[in-house]
Structure 1
């Protein structure tokens, strides 16, 4: 029970910090709405709407947030960087879905290459935080809630102990089990932090590359014609090649060296699926 209250206190503290960071914004842009029906109104009499920060849930909200933060970035570069890093680490550390939108936002704000470096660093640090939080607060609760999946992963880690790093890379390139679940179960599986750290850093490069470069392209597209320009098409082709090449190499290695019997998408065993069909 003490571990649960400790985790709740930590989540509450981090949430309060993120709230304060987003609530007390520096002076920023305001969306101005002028009355078209009454031309005698001047700009001083126009209505203003204060733009507020929130996690994006779709592409339209992502575009709006990117435009808002781009303004802040020109005037308050350090503030935007700290805010972005804090929001990203908050999601990763507490295993909250939605990192793909933040990866795309990284590309829109910082460009494709700087954005990729930032996204890979934050993904690795945030996942390591999640690992440490799970080891400190949640090991017994995770085993109690997910006994079958933990047992399955434990068996496969033991079978692939001689190639543990490549086994973890395979799981990151082809997430048979969601990344957040691997993060919280790794301390239970006794995976050393250095191996965990570098498997995240390397294994999620293709995924981060796709999201970041997609965000960079979306921020540059102004019309449908831009989508079908040669420059955009070549960038999309490059994204596909970079994402597929390491995956193909690790798949070939896994077929020759790793024991993956019974592992299916989302981490279920074939035997579990057989039981459900009976």
Structure 2
């Protein structure tokens, strides 16, 4: 692909990434993909699901994938709805597959558009260069930590690794593995959709603690390697 064609492709991709979220908010997407709207229409959605199960299943998966790829903040509602409409197990599978595909898409797009220039700038900064080197060395542990600990916005974790040396393959499989617990929790909560008052504080303290501990466990090998390297250096 020549430079002119690459510029056109990059321009179209950038427009899609910017216009998608803008259109979502401009045309009331935040109201449509809200907990209140979902609860108000749950009977109709259940009836449609019963009549057209696999059609809605695939359509919901496509909607989830596109929303993730465009960094639209609707993952929590879409995950709850998946569990509510398709059951905790199928709902979990749908959320894992759709969110992983969307995450890989936004990672690939961000790397294609910005990674080279961003990495060159970061490498000129000694502190940032050190972080990049550490991420490249312990990418699996860092990525699993970021995915498992539910304190980091999903869209941010999708984007940031694109500016590091992590490979697409490593990013993809750690995304799938790292989001499994959270996807199950949300899909399972979706079975009690009518009893949820708000998305704020949806995850209980024990659940948050459990996910955070899993994230810390994923990070321990990298910390151990760092301490070992420091010990060898001092020795």
Q: Shared topology, TM-score over 0.5?
A: yes
Match for 2:13 among 7, 12, 19?
7
Partner of 1:85: 61
Q: Secondary structure at the match of 1:184?
A: helix
Indicate yes or no: 2:113 matched with 1:137. Answer: yes
Taking structure 1 as the reference length, the TM-score comes to: 0.60
Contact 1:120 1:205 in 2 (8 A): yes
Partner Cα distance (1:113, 1:84) in 2: 15
Partner of 1:190: 165
Residues 139 and 252 of structure 1: is their aligned pair in 2 closer, same or farther, counting only changes over 3 Å?
closer
Contact 1:167 1:258 in 2 (8 A): no
Partner of 2:70: 94
What is the aligned residue count? 205
Partner Cα distance (1:11, 1:161) in 2: 26
Partner Cα distance (2:84, 2:151) in 1: 29
Taking structure 2 as the reference length, the TM-score comes to: 0.69
Q: What is the CA distance between 1:156 and its match in structure 2?
A: 2.7
Partner Cα distance (1:9, 1:159) in 2: 33
Which structure has more RCO (C-alpha within 8 Å, separation ≥ 6)? 2
Partner of 1:248: 213
Contact 2:144 2:215 in 1 (8 A): yes
* Higher CA-based Rg: 1
Partner Cα distance (1:96, 1:151) in 2: 33
Pairs within 5 Å for 1:11-22: none
Q: Deviations over 1:95-128 (max 9, x none)?
A: 1112010000000001111111111111111101
Residues 157 and 169 of structure 1: is their aligned pair in 2 closer, same or farther, counting only changes over 3 Å?
farther
Match for 1:179 among 147, 154, 157?
154
Q: Where does the alignment leave 5 or more consecutive residues of structure 1 unmatched?
A: 19-53, 225-235, 262-278
Contact 1:160 1:258 in 2 (8 A): no
Give the root-mean-square deviation of aligned CA atoms.
Answer: 3.9
Partner Cα distance (2:19, 2:216) in 1: 42
Q: Secondary structure at the match of 1:187?
A: helix
Partner of 2:3: none
Q: Where does the alignment leave 5 or more consecutive residues of structure 2 unmatched?
A: 1-6, 25-30, 227-235
